Amino acid sequence: MSDLGALPVQAYLTACLLAGGIGLWLGRVAWRERDEPGGIEVALYLLCGGGASLLYALRVAAPGEVAMRVALNLSTPLMGALPVLWTLFALAFTGHDRWRTENRIVALATPAFVWVLLAWSSATHGLARRSVAPVTEGPFTLLGYGLGPAGGLFVLLAYGLCVAGAFLVVDLYERTGNRYRLQTFVVLLGTLFPFLAGIATFVDVGSYANLSWLPTAFVIHGVFLYGTVFWLGTLDAAVVARDTAVEVMQDPVIVSGSDGRIRDLNPAAEAILPPDAVGSSLSEVFPRLEVGVEHPIAIDGRQFDIQENPITDPRGTDRGHVFLLRDVTAREERQAELERREAELERQNERLEEFAGVVSHDLRNPLAAASAGVELARQRGDDPDGALERAANAHERMDDMIEGLLALATAGETVDELDRVSLDGTVRRVWSRLETAEATLTVEGGDATVLADRDRLEQLVSNLFRNAVDHAGEDVAVTVSIEADGDRVALAVGDDGPGVPAAERERVTERGVSLGGGTGLGLAIVGDIVEAHGWSLSVAESDAGGAEFLVEGMEAADA
């Protein structure tokens, strides 16, 4: 039995008991809050370390060899579990959850389980421990033993797992930004204690070769892990993935603290800010990045929109801001090009309106005078060879072209205001205004009220009727079909004329295209009016074998 009155023994027992109490208490607290990422591993790590410390104190203070052996055997599974728990924590902490599968956990735990069984049965084979016997070193009476082959392999495996976990944390330290490096630094600092204690134990540093500080060191390490998880906030897989995503983002990300100083930058932000930006005042380094600044801002020929988000702690206290600078250079260039095109289109429309005015005034007046002169000459009978008749026809054609050009100038303008228009009423009203001679009109499908520009819809119907009369003859039979389908209405205008060849149906509504010697503007105007409303126009063969023009996509006013 150790000399419990000796100061070294009392100091060692105090350290073990204090570490054991802290480990068990913090482990119990951590277990209640184990939902935190890595919380279960930290709780079990502290419980195992605390239990091992108390059992090691029992080994030192035990009155006999039997009690020492019982304490040794009870602490064996706790010591075997610690490297495994550390490795699992490191995987969770560094975001490698894909490695924490059930099969891999079993694979990690199996060597420790086998070692525990071999250690408990070493008296028969000596594979894990050899020559287990009490050893007196000064005031201490300890249970000393040597390592068997299995024991030596497990020690190497345990240190290998500890080193692997440390490397994972070091890699995370290098990958994460400044915002998260405090957590990784704390974990690495705590990891030093088990390594140093292990070296002191196995290299026989100090006066007591068989005295081990490993259980106490494991508890200290567990305290560091507890502080990282439950005080500083651990880096679970989502946070690591988010941080990695920020690092590889092409858009700059700037983090400032509540004092207005820059705390962190991603590589994209480092490229546009001075090298010593971190730690400097944001208002000095980047005065245009203040909250409420007008967007976008120009930096080195690039345009950026700024998204600012506050950083608050759980109590709502302001801890700083995160600025995301979205590169919108391409968008701004497209917008500028669009504005340029719109301005050019507006200028073209203005010139077109000026041209329409010239056509209306400067051409129609002399044309009217010429037509009047020809008609007067024809009434006097001064047209023996029909020249005046041909001139009158030419004047009439010119008048049709002028009227078509005037209509074309406004047909494609954007429809700003929509009226509630009855299709049946519009069709019959337009038909009554035209000189249709022997032509007949049939309206099928009932009535429907649609949203449209009233004047341009009447012009569309008028042009389709004129097209039927001009190409199918004065005795053409025109059929108008109105069909409503939910909130959409279709209007079809067909005739019994010669129709439109299939090869020409795609281009018959183009400007200047006429299959019967017309101006080639009437159907082009129809196409422009349809496009201005957002409808669709198609050409097909009517039931009577003639041409049919189908306007689809009209919005029902009562839908």
> What is the arrangement of strands in the sheet containing 297-299, beginning at the earlier edge strand?
262-265, 253-257, 318-327, 302-312, 297-299
Last residue of a domain, one of 182, 212, 235: 235
Last residue of a domain, one of 209, 235, 261: 235
Do 223 and 206 fall into the same domain? yes
Q: What is the reported pLDDT for 459?
A: 85
Residue 465 lies in a domain: yes
Residue 177 pLDDT greater than 60, yes or no: no
111: confidence class by pLDDT, cuts 50, 70, 90: very high
Nearest CA-CA partner of 135 in 73, 208, 227, 205:
208
Residue 316's CATH number: 3.30.450.20
More confident residue, 106 or 388: 106
Residue 183, C-beta contacts closer than 8 angstroms, at least 6 positions apart: 228, 232, 233, 234, 235
More confident residue, 178 or 33: 33
Query: What domain range is 467 assigned to?
Result: 419-555
Residue 108 pLDDT greater than 60, yes or no: yes
Q: What is the reported pLDDT for 424?
A: 93
pLDDT in tens, 236-256: 444 454 555 565 667 888 888
Residue type present at position 369? A
* DSSP one-letter code for 446: -
Q: What share of the chain has pLDDT > 70, as a percent?
A: 77
Q: Which of 24-28, 230-234, 362-366, 436-440 has the highest average model confidence (pLDDT)?
A: 24-28
pLDDT in tens, 120-160: 998 888 888 888 888 887 788 888 788 889 988 998 998 89
Q: What's the mean pLDDT in 372-387?
A: 62
Considering only 129-143, 409-423, 439-453, which range has the smallest mean pLDDT?
409-423
Q: What is the reported pLDDT for 237?
A: 42
Residue 200 lies in a domain: yes
Do 390 and 507 fall into the same domain? no
Count of domains for the chain: 4
DSSP 305-373: EEEEEEEE-TT--EEEEEEEEEE-HHHHHHHHHHHHHHHHHHHHHHHHHHHHHHIIIIIHHHHHHHHHH
Q: What is the reported pLDDT for 368?
A: 65
371: confidence class by pLDDT, cuts 50, 70, 90: low
382: confidence class by pLDDT, cuts 50, 70, 90: low
Do 98 and 203 fall into the same domain? yes
Residue 4 lies in a domain: no
Residue 103 lies in a domain: yes
Residue 359 lies in a domain: yes
More confident residue, 511 or 273: 273
Q: What are phi and psi of 110, to 5 degrees?
A: -60, -50
Q: What is the reported pLDDT for 238?
A: 45
Q: What is the reported pLDDT for 263?
A: 77
Q: What's the mean pLDDT in 104-112?
A: 90
Mean pLDDT, all residues of the chain:
79
pLDDT in tens, 288-298: 665 555 567 77
Residue 153's CATH number: 1.20.1070
Do 518 and 535 fall into the same domain? yes
Which tokens go with 434?
Answer: 């035209």
More confident residue, 380 or 89: 89
Do 55 and 200 fall into the same domain? yes
Do 178 and 307 fall into the same domain? no
Residue 426 pLDDT greater than 90, yes or no: yes
Considering only 90-94, 112-116, 162-166, which range has the smallest mean pLDDT?
90-94
Residue 109 lies in a domain: yes
Do 315 and 215 fall into the same domain? no
Considering only 210-219, 226-235, 398-407, 447-456, which range has the smallest mean pLDDT?
398-407
Do 326 and 294 fall into the same domain? yes
Q: How distant, in Å, are the alpha carbons of 4, 42, 57, 311 from that of 52? A: 20, 15, 9, 42
CA distance 14 to 403: 109
Q: Which stretches of 102-251 are DSSP H helices?
A: 102-120, 122-125, 149-175, 181-202, 214-226, 237-248
pLDDT in tens, 17-61: 999 999 999 999 989 887 776 788 999 999 999 999 999 999 888
Q: What's the mean pLDDT in 391-414?
A: 57
Last residue of a domain, one of 301, 331, 361: 331
Do 220 and 283 fall into the same domain? no
Considering only 74-88, 153-167, 192-206, 364-378, which range has the smallest mean pLDDT?
364-378
496 in Cβ contact with 545 (< 8 Å): yes
Do 60 and 140 fall into the same domain? yes
Which tokens go with 83?
Answer: 């490297």
More confident residue, 177 or 538: 538
Residue 240 lies in a domain: no
Do 388 and 426 fall into the same domain? no
Q: What is the reported pLDDT for 246?
A: 61
Give the three-state DSSP class for 46.
helix
Residue 81 pLDDT greater than 80, yes or no: yes
Residue 226 pLDDT greater than 50, yes or no: yes
Residue 427's CATH number: 3.30.565.10
Q: What is the reported pLDDT for 377?
A: 65
pLDDT in tens, 457-513: 988 898 899 888 888 888 899 999 999 988 899 999 999 988 888 878 887 777 655
Residue 266 pLDDT greater than 60, yes or no: yes
Residue 242 lies in a domain: no
Do 152 and 254 fall into the same domain? no
